[in-house]
Amino acid sequence: MAASDSKTLLKSDAVYKYILETSVYPREHECMRELRLITAQHPWGTMASSPDETQFLGMLLKILNAKNTLEIGVFTGYSLLATALALPSDGQIIAIDMKREYYEIGRPIIEKAGMAHKVDFREGPALPILNELVSEENNEGNFDFAFIDADKVNYLNYHERVLKLLRIGGIIAYDNTLWGGSVVAPPDEPLSERDRELAHATRKFNKAITADPRVEVSHLSIADGLTLCRRIA
Ligand code: SAM
Ligand code: CA
């Protein structure tokens, strides 16, 4: 597998394989493995997060002592299950996706893992659902963590809403913030229209949040780029 096909921007496939085989797969929850393998069979399977990334998110959630979380972009529920496994038994994830049919693929495995009670799945476009959450009493500042992994062109719209829901000290993790490295593609690089548009949106997003005084930012090169924003104001 060429580095460009794998779920990492690491230049060496051998090093990535080493990380997975040495530090990730031996500690992988059996239901995470099952869902990873089922998802890989799906025609859009590459949309799922990478195993090293979900391992990282799980540890981050524990360090944060996260209890109330939000996920935008669920697909088969692979990052959702990683989140559920890292939360305490009374933890909760509001999980939003336009397509329940994707979530239904992973739901039996989430149930088998004993995690279904933590998931509040909401089907529909994320923006109106977020607007509703923001308008509901008691939601403001009530969330510890959000994983944003849906339509990249809306990341800045999600940012404004999710910041209202997040407590001070809470973290928003934005996925795919390097978009396959296309953020640095020269103008004459043969990119598809969609990739060109997403590279532009991603560059705009990365600049805007770095300039946002309400958050601290850490841009990680794990997977396809993961940007952590910690709310400070
Ligand atoms: N977080 C998942 C994981 O790591 O396994 C992968 C999510 S996948 C990259 C993106 C998902 O976002 C798709 O399932 C798609 O249906 C959903 N999506 C795209 N645009 C959306 C929108 N505007 N509102 C809600 N969901 C959306
Ligand atoms: Ca992603």
Closest approach atom of ligand 1 to CA 48: 5
How many angstroms is it from 48 CA to the middle of ligand 1? 9
Joined together, the tokens standing for residue 45 give 């399977």
Query: Locate tokens 């850490």: which residue?
Result: 218
pLDDT of residue 7: 84
pLDDT of residue 11: 87
How many angstroms is it from 137 CA to the middle of ligand 2? 30
pLDDT of residue 3: 42
> Smallest Cα–Cα separation from 82: which of 140, 159, 4, 145?
145
What is the DSSP code (8-state) at residue 44? T
DSSP result, 104-156: HHHHHHHHHTT-GGGEEEEES-HHHHHHHHHHSTT-TT-EEEEEE-S-GGGHH
> Smallest Cα–Cα separation from 69: which of 216, 167, 151, 168?
167
pLDDT of residue 8: 86
Q: Please report which ligand is nearest the Cα atom of 202.
A: 2
| Domains along the sequence of the chain with CATH | 3-231 (3.40.50.150)
Burial of 179 (0-12, 13-18, 19+ CB in 10 A): buried
Which of 57, 81, 105, 151 best tests ligand 1's pocket when mutated (most atoms within 8 Å of CB)? 151
**How far is the first Cα of the chain from the last one, in angstroms, to the nearest whole number?**
44
What does the pLDDT profile of the chain (233 residues) look like in tens digits? 344 457 888 989 999 999 999 999 999 999 999 999 999 999 999 999 999 999 999 999 999 999 999 999 999 999 999 999 999 999 999 999 999 999 999 999 999 999 999 999 999 999 999 999 999 999 999 999 999 999 999 999 999 999 999 999 999 999 999 999 999 999 899 999 999 999 999 999 999 999 999 999 999 999 999 999 999 99
Give this complex's ipTM.
Answer: 0.99
